[in-house]
Structure 1
């Protein structure tokens, strides 16, 4: 019997020879012929071959096609010189009408049937193991002498002809500090499934119990490990089940065909185009992927909007990468609640200011273009005005479609959870993310203050309660956008507000958001969010991660996304709409084309231009 350590160093032809002779008595090929590609195998009647090839082309993440044989071709010339698919896998599976019939160590008894059948060789994640190990990433199931864990997910693949099934993934526990190394190592290896499709809680994939894999073995995680999921070629096995062919064969999951192709042949990308791994939630645990180049551009956006035209000391409130993390979270969200409204002008009707609504509507337009549901929540006294602003924004081409405008009064203790969740059930939130932009925030004494320390509580509804409740509901993230520390969500930096902002001891918001975006003018923060969301969705690495490497990129929608971004013309129109409704500048109280005492031209217009230059 040949030991596994020896098998690691043997060339593929030698391992295949041993397999033919039944000289290997292990359950899977992980680690064999280290540095060489391995392949999943699907064998179908020639009448199904075109449909299956199309299924592979439309789901390249789980099914990277390495070679399609001719009918009856048992060799695979591009992958090996001396192979025989009837004998060169450790174990096979036979399916009849989509039902698993038996396991086999050879297909030689089916040689006559195989003359009318086509073999598909598909990339395998075993191929990238040596690459991740070179970067110090442990492979737990190898350490534990087990097969990799494989799971059926709730994520549907793109159907083709007779083939329709859900994605299958492999899971490897990876130490948290090695997550980026694992992503960097696998990202360029597209023929071996490429970068992970999910990092974090299995619930996002519809996987209920990691200790109950559908294929392979349960693998034990060590303290500090994070579940990392890659698209898996066993998706092909599920596709075979779905087509219900009278006869089909596959490899047995984990028992791969070992090729003569070295995986070191994969090209090394520009590091700037490689992936960055960013944690966006701790409950449930969730990470996202983005290219280093895109992350750098979003950091530039964060820096640009953080200038301090009022010299209020907001630089002391800045937290690095909050815009990046917030927008990654928003990119994954399906439904978003946006709240705005700061009634600072308590002696005027209406008391609202021109900072806030433009930022809210800019984010609304981009989120809607990305296919997300959006609602706006504001004070009950302002509902009619905001609905009219939305109507006018559509008439002026600032928005394409309407957005619901709601109020929240919070009459009872459980109102917030009922508002945020279906039937008040915390396991069924209506919204994935809440954003507050220039929204009056509750101070530690329960009052609401403008920058001059005037209590405006009588004009503010308790929308803060939604953000407080969201902290107790897994799956809802929150962002606060502000420019002075008295805005909802900026409680995350309240100690800095108390120390560095004028009147901070009194006005500092006490309610924290998961992410806080600080900008010189809050509208600028909203514009930055829109631009960052656009950058993320045209980022190949992030876009692939969003769709779990199945189906096709949505870059055909890029023009629609671009047209949803804020522009000088659109924001000028919107500011004119606000002035027409009697809404005043926050700092001066002027009923004029200005925000926070700064004229639209050339202050706000130049800011919009600077942000758009970053995303060009």
Structure 2
């Protein structure tokens, strides 16, 4: 008999006795989570002919349906989970489904014994199993405090289909104090057989949940003022699968009335793991509220990339504009995006044709290459006068292997007051954005007087389209996040640090960009910021903790083939040298000197820029660090 099984057997005896004395009537207040210390299980029972396909469905959706045990047909017990069990009686209440419809709830399945002879029982992990661990870690469990069942919601997130089984994922929600989010994520991360770490933190609308006070299952739970909604995959997804498949007959536990095993909760956890695999949470949006997750190892490595690009060979004092973790938060946000708009172009050489400089386009193309490899839709927005130039540059970059496929190039002139909104959103509807994220890299930014200045203080407004309007409008549209990358403070998006620009940068009070981005990445050279974004996206998506969170715990994690594709899209010295040659071919000059050569901001490609590209690449591909990231499994 397993440790503690005597106590569980006695609890089962008392449960069955209580059922008899209660006349098989149960209130929704009876919950299996009143028995702390033991692993609990959700239950799905269906005909043996569909058992293989349902198991495949569980394997394809491991977070909502972590499979603990699959019985043989007509098997009432589950030896790996319980020494003495009878699934016909060991849940407080069962749901009975006929042709996908819930027809009744019963306290015992004994009357269905003949039908159960040809049925298979699936025991699936339950999040109630980690609630004691949350409490022990100092995280308040509001539903338990309030004597209520946990809130459970049907989402707009579709599970991976297997055979006839298809349904939306169900999640449970627990309000968690803002200062306890890391603890809650780390604590539940250790319980992969109890749904593991959270699949979403923040606004419920991102999951398609309209209102938290109206759960689809369980009870509404009241949050405290500093609480943030935290969502875990839920085993009630199994009931949704049963209903959507319209099986002739099927059974599940009633939500909140799980099967109690003989196994101690701690046996379901990963007992020890590298500290680097522990998840950390970061806020990536306030409108709507949205947090992301990555492992400590991945976070540390992105921070090392951020430190690298702070080097200042041009001695501009760029470190005065540095805001910690802007690179990390921007890339976490980009990792969640499906459609990204990138803009670049600083026409500082107003006496030349074209007036563009070599800083900006290489960083933009490096980001676009990685975003494409990650399966995201990418477009570039450029000044109307430079459209043809940019399209030729992109095509040459494709031909030379700098980027795999061409990026569409668009323009924006802002001809009417609502032009920006109509450009960003379908039919100008703020609830239907075309883009999730806007990125500006070395893009001329509007100063507080409405003009655009180069670092010498020359007004170049006549060469610049009002692309800034896209960023100011995006700040009013829920769901669109923005990033600015710059090396002087006059670039679009660097309005976030305009105070420092005005106080500390040459001519700062005149040239400082007035338009802020959600994230402002300062770099010694703006291209370096673009390279660092590409490398950070690679690292984050190699981290299983982050990928699982982005995938909402559904499907399999990326295989070696996808990792190889991403690695091939990283910046490299040959690719970036080729990109610079393409720019020179089209007459694009170095920003500081106006030289037409392999130079950016007055610094030659070899050794300055080539060395930075190689260092960023080496850090991203360092085997020791990648190995740690791959262990970030929850």
Instruction: Report if aligned partners of 2:32, 2:260 keep a CA contact under 8 Å in 1.
Output: no
Partner of 1:612 in structure 2?
Answer: 617
Is 1:415 the counterpart of 2:415 in the alignment?
Answer: no
Instruction: Report if aligned partners of 1:157, 1:164 keep a CA contact under 8 Å in 2.
Output: yes
Instruction: Report if aligned partners of 1:490, 1:509 keep a CA contact under 8 Å in 2.
Output: yes
Cα drift, residue 10 of structure 1? 9.7
Q: 1:485 aligns with which of 471, 486, 489?
A: 489
Is 1:252 the counterpart of 2:254 in the alignment?
Answer: yes
Partner of 1:3 in structure 2?
Answer: none
* Number of positions where the alignment pairs a residue of Structure 1 with one of Structure 2: 609
Partner of 1:429 in structure 2?
Answer: 433
Aligned equivalents of 1:211, 1:531: Cα separation in 2:
41
Q: Superposition pairs for residues 158-557 of structure 1, below 5 Å?
A: 158-265=160-267, 266=269, 267-555=271-559, 556-557=561-562
Secondary structure in structure 2 of the residue aligned to 1:381: helix
Aligned equivalents of 1:10, 1:367: Cα separation in 2:
56
Aligned equivalents of 2:131, 2:85: Cα separation in 1:
23
Aligned equivalents of 1:464, 1:9: Cα separation in 2:
66
Aligned equivalents of 1:466, 1:160: Cα separation in 2:
42
Secondary structure in structure 2 of the residue aligned to 1:194: coil
Structure 1, unaligned runs of 5 or more: 1-7
Cα drift, residue 36 of structure 1? 1.1
Aligned equivalents of 1:72, 1:341: Cα separation in 2:
69
Instruction: Report if aligned partners of 1:338, 1:377 keep a CA contact under 8 Å in 2.
Output: yes
Higher deviation after alignment, 30-39 or 545-554:
30-39
What are the superposed Cα offsets for residues 131-173 of structure 1, whole Å, 9 maximum, x if unpaired?
1111111111111111111111111111111211111110111
Cα drift, residue 28 of structure 1? 3.6
Aligned equivalents of 1:15, 1:604: Cα separation in 2:
69
Instruction: Report if aligned partners of 1:485, 1:507 keep a CA contact under 8 Å in 2.
Output: yes
Partner of 1:5 in structure 2?
Answer: none
Is 1:14 the counterpart of 2:10 in the alignment?
Answer: yes
What are the superposed Cα offsets for residues 429-454 of structure 1, whole Å, 9 maximum, x if unpaired?
11111000000011111111111111
Aligned equivalents of 1:448, 1:275: Cα separation in 2:
42
Higher deviation after alignment, 552-561 or 84-93:
552-561
Cα drift, residue 29 of structure 1? 2.6
Partner of 1:151 in structure 2?
Answer: 153
Cα drift, residue 194 of structure 1? 0.1
Cα drift, residue 30 of structure 1? 4.7
What are the superposed Cα offsets for residues 378-409 of structure 1, whole Å, 9 maximum, x if unpaired?
11111110010011111101111111111111
Instruction: Report if aligned partners of 2:5, 2:262 keep a CA contact under 8 Å in 1.
Output: no
Aligned equivalents of 1:370, 1:400: Cα separation in 2:
12
CA-atom RMSD in angstroms: 1.4
Partner of 2:47 in structure 1?
Answer: 45
Aligned equivalents of 2:456, 2:470: Cα separation in 1:
26
Q: 1:85 aligns with which of 81, 84, 87?
A: 87
- Counterparts in 2 of 1:398 and 1:28: CA distance versus 1, 3 Å: farther
Aligned equivalents of 1:364, 1:30: Cα separation in 2:
50
Give TM-score, length-normalised by structure 2.
0.94
Instruction: Report if aligned partners of 1:575, 1:593 keep a CA contact under 8 Å in 2.
Output: yes
Partner of 2:629 in structure 1?
Answer: none
Secondary structure in structure 2 of the residue aligned to 1:119: strand
- Counterparts in 2 of 1:483 and 1:345: CA distance versus 1, 3 Å: same
Cα drift, residue 124 of structure 1? 0.2
Secondary structure in structure 2 of the residue aligned to 1:553: coil
Structure 2, unaligned runs of 5 or more: 622-634
